[in-house]
Amino acid sequence: MNIAAPRILILRTGHTDPTIRARHGDDDEWFTAAMEDLGCRFTLRHVPLDGMGSLAGFDGVLVTGTAAAVRDRAGWMRPLTAFLGERTEGGPPVLAVCFGAQLAADALGGTVERNPRGWEIGTVEVKLTADGLEDPIFHGLPERLSVQATHEDHVAELPADVIRLAGNSTAAVQAFAWGRRLRALQFHPEVDAATISSLVRLRRAVLEADARRQGALDAVTARAAVSAILTGIRASGHGRAILANWVNFFVRRTQA
């Protein structure tokens, strides 16, 4: 199936911080900017206020991240959880990111919890599994990817029928798959280096406190740990390549 201008529904699960929004846009705008050359038409629904609505007529669905946590069990999460947990190949393909990935794991029977290793934020390296190397979502990409991340929770356990596609030492589940319908990413393929830098600076106090909990001996060491995160941030085209693969091989259903 070759869809000339696929219709993509963005299910936004929250807003980013107002100061970040003023400078870099909101979560949905990160996706539309990263995918601007892919020929897609986008429709936005803010799930906490608008609900999910009908999926009729859409060729693909994106589920964004949010500051909310799966363990909050907010009422607006219930229909989205039911949708993500559907074990059927019917309906449009889904790409779930960060909180979206965690909610999908929870919906399918996995376990999501606060990561005992603390925050993962900044530019991070993830390694593809053998299954990941064969999956179209990572077509043409190397075994080790450089991507932007920001999350405090993680998928601690996947259900047996879900395939792990990538991981690293901080979060063993960085990407997973269920059938052809669902792909989920713990990291943020839509976020650029400038935005993640602003997010680190915004959360500096939180991250310094987290560094102390993770073993930094004093405030100076904690500040240095956060400065090292900022120094390590770099641009990478891997995230945009993943988004392009999703559109080409899942939405348009071309052959890898």
Q: Which residues are catalytic?
A: 98, 188, 190
Tokens of 198: 């602003």
How far apart CA 239 and CA 231 sit, in angstroms, is 20
CB 11 within 8 A of CB 47: yes
User: DSSP 3-state assignment of 43?
Assistant: strand
How many whole angstroms separate alpha carbon 29 and alpha carbon 170? 28
Q: Cα separation of 200 and 119, whole Å? A: 11
Cβ atoms of 128 and 212 within 8 Å: the answer is no
**Beta bridge mates, 10:** 44, 62
